[in-house]
Amino acid sequence: MSLLADDVKKIAHLARVGINEEDGATYAKDLSGMLELMVQMGELNTDNITPMSHPLDPVQRLRPDEVTETNQRDKFQTLASQTEAGLYLVPKVLD
């Protein structure tokens, strides 16, 4: 699929993106190249390919799930204006 400068101008208008008139031909060439690549990728046989969540398959370093702070709920609730049964009471916002 080949785009023209007028097509790029229409797309830019729909996307609410401002482009210079002299750059329209360059954008058309670049976008056409991307669309051609998508067409080529769509024609590939991927029946025996396992889907991947990430092309590099990174491993995330995680810290141990341990409690590092003490429970200070009672101390914090003494600072609150209103509490009930361990909950903070706040003014009604919505009617």
Do 28 and 3 contact (CB within 8 A), yes or no? Answer: yes
Quick one: pLDDT at residue 2?
85
CA proximity to 5, closest of 23, 13, 14: 23
Quick one: pLDDT at residue 21?
85
Eight-state DSSP code of residue 15? T
Quick one: pLDDT at residue 28?
92
Quick one: pLDDT at residue 57?
77
List the chain pLDDT tens, one digit each, 95 residues: 788 889 999 999 999 999 988 888 899 999 999 999 999 999 999 999 888 888 887 888 899 999 999 999 999 999 999 999 999 999 889 87
Q: Which residue has the tokens 């031909």?
A: 25
Give the residue extent of every domain in the chain. 5-42
